[in-house]
Amino acid sequence: MTGYVLYGSDMSYFSGKARAYLRWKGIDFTEIAPTPEVMKSEIMANIGWPVIPVLKTPEGEYVQDTADIIAHFEQKGGAPSALPPLPLQLMVTFLLQLYADEWLTLPAMHYRWNHNEDWIYGEFGKNAAPNGTPEEQYEAGKKVGQRFRSFVPMLGVTPETAPGVEKAYEQFLADFSAHLKKLPYLLGTRASYADFAMIGPLYAHQYRDKFSGEHMKEKAPLVADYVERVIAGKGQTGAFVANDDIPKTLLPILKAALGEHIPVLSATIDKYNEWVETAEPRAEVPRGVGMVPFATGGHAGMISARTFSLLRLQDALDVYQMMMPSDRKRADAMLAAVDASGFKSLRIDPRLTRRNYKLALA
**How far apart are alpha carbons 269 and 246 in whole angstroms?**
28
**Secondary element (H or E) of residue 284:** none
**Domain boundaries, given as residue ranges, for the chain:** 1-362
Classified as helix, coil or strand, 305 is strand
End-to-end CA distance of the chain: 36
Count Cβ atoms below 10 Å from residue 234 Cβ, excluding itself: 18
Q: State pLDDT tens for residues 197-213.
A: 999 999 999 999 999 99
CB 235 within 8 A of CB 185: yes
Whether 1 shows a pLDDT value over 60: the answer reads no
Q: 1-362 domain in CATH 1.10.10.60?
A: no
DSSP state, residue 240: B
Taking the whole predicted model, whether its pTM rises above 0.85 is answered as: yes
Which range among 55-59, 137-141, 151-155 has the greatest average pLDDT? 55-59
Residue type, 124: F
Q: State pLDDT tens for residues 278-303.
A: 999 999 999 999 999 999 999 999 99
Residues near 362 by Cβ (< 8 Å), separated by ≥ 6? Answer: 282, 350, 351, 352, 353
Residues near 293 by Cβ (< 8 Å), separated by ≥ 6? Answer: 263, 267, 300, 301, 302, 303
Q: State pLDDT tens for residues 214-263.
A: 999 999 999 999 999 999 999 999 999 999 999 999 999 999 999 999 99
Structure confidence at residue 13 (pLDDT): 95
**How far apart are alpha carbons 206 and 104 in whole angstroms?**
10
What is the pLDDT confidence band of residue 2, given thresholds at 50, 70 and 90? low
Whether 144 shows a pLDDT value over 70: the answer reads yes
Long-range contacts of 306-309 (CB under 8 A, 24+ apart): 306/102, 306/268, 307/268, 307/272, 307/352, 307/359, 308/101, 308/102, 308/359, 309/98, 309/101, 309/102, 309/264, 309/265, 309/268
* Mean pLDDT taken over the chain: 95
